[in-house]
Amino acid sequence: MSDQNNTQPAGASQNTNRTPSSQPTQQTSFRDRRAATGFNRSARTGAPGAFGNRNNRPGGFNSAGPNAGGNRGPNDRNRGGFGGRRNDRAPRDRKPREDEFSDFTSEVIDVRRVTRVVKGGKRMRFSALVVIGDKNGRIGFGLRKGLDFQDAVAKATREAKKTLIRINLDEAKSLPFPIDLKYKSSRIMLKPAQAGTGLIAGGFIRPILTLAGYENVYSKIIGSSNKIVGVQSVFKALEKFVK
């Protein structure tokens, strides 16, 4: 009989800590429960004397030790280097000034219309080969594409300004020594000449030597008649005379 009275239906849990309804429950405030759990608000707000205060942490601004005085490590943000932020650095002028190229003259060597086959059809562009020089030893060339003629020439001119070389000119405005160079499928031969001879050159070689400042040179190119390869071979030869 006693076993039948102590049995409970399935799914029912036995709660031995339930407070009788006759005894009232003790109400505690949130502040009391927070104090009982050991929560310290000053650790979060950084009040003086708390561990959460930044100045009293190890390596803080008011602590003693190798990291005292607010020294920051190499991985800290906005540190400005190990010596601090440098405010004495002059601003950089990355773009070349236009007054530096005021005495330069440009020559369009070749302009071609090129097409590219894409999914929607063919896309047409222009390819320009431009040579610039100041007729005093500085010369450069650029090859770029653009949507139209003017855009391609402008891009090629900007590229030529970035690839300037300074070559040596003697009193006779001629080469210091002869050179015979083979580049890709072309062969270029340049030979010095006496004063009054003039430029013995034709095609795209003449404007290149003129913009470089030469007045008395013998020249000959053998092999490919491609202007791009020819201009590259001439510049490879002129690089031998770089100061």
Whole-number Å distance between alpha carbons of 195 and 209: 15
117, containing H or E segment: strand 105-118
CA distance 101 to 95: 12
pLDDT at 169: 87
Q: What is the separation of C-alpha 172 from the centre of its chain, rounded to a whole number of angstroms?
A: 43
Under DSSP, the state recorded for 98 is: G
Which class does domain 104-241 fall in? alpha beta
- Contacts from 139-148 at CB under 8 Å and sequence distance 24+? 139/164, 139/165, 139/167, 139/208, 139/211, 139/212, 139/235, 139/238, 140/164, 140/165, 141/109, 141/208, 141/231, 141/235, 143/228, 145/114
Dihedral over Cα of 147, 151, 156, 161: its sign: negative
**Alpha-helical regions (H) of 7-61:** 30-36, 41-45
* Predicted TM-score of the model (pTM): 0.59
Residue 32 has a pLDDT of 77
The Cα–Cα gap between 135 and 158 comes to 18
pLDDT tens digits along 115-171: 999 998 999 999 999 999 999 999 999 999 999 999 999 999 999 999 999 998 888
Extents of the domains making up the chain: 104-241
For the chain, first and last CA: distance in Å? Answer: 118
**Residue the block writes with tokens 């009232």:** 24
Mark out the alpha helices in 7-148 (DSSP H runs). 30-36, 41-45
H/E stretch holding 200 reads strand 199-200
Maximum C-alpha span of the chain: 139
If residue 142 lies in a helix (H) or strand (E), which one and from where to where?
strand 138-146
Per-residue pLDDT of 175-211, as tens digits, reads: 999 999 999 999 999 999 999 999 999 899 999 999 9
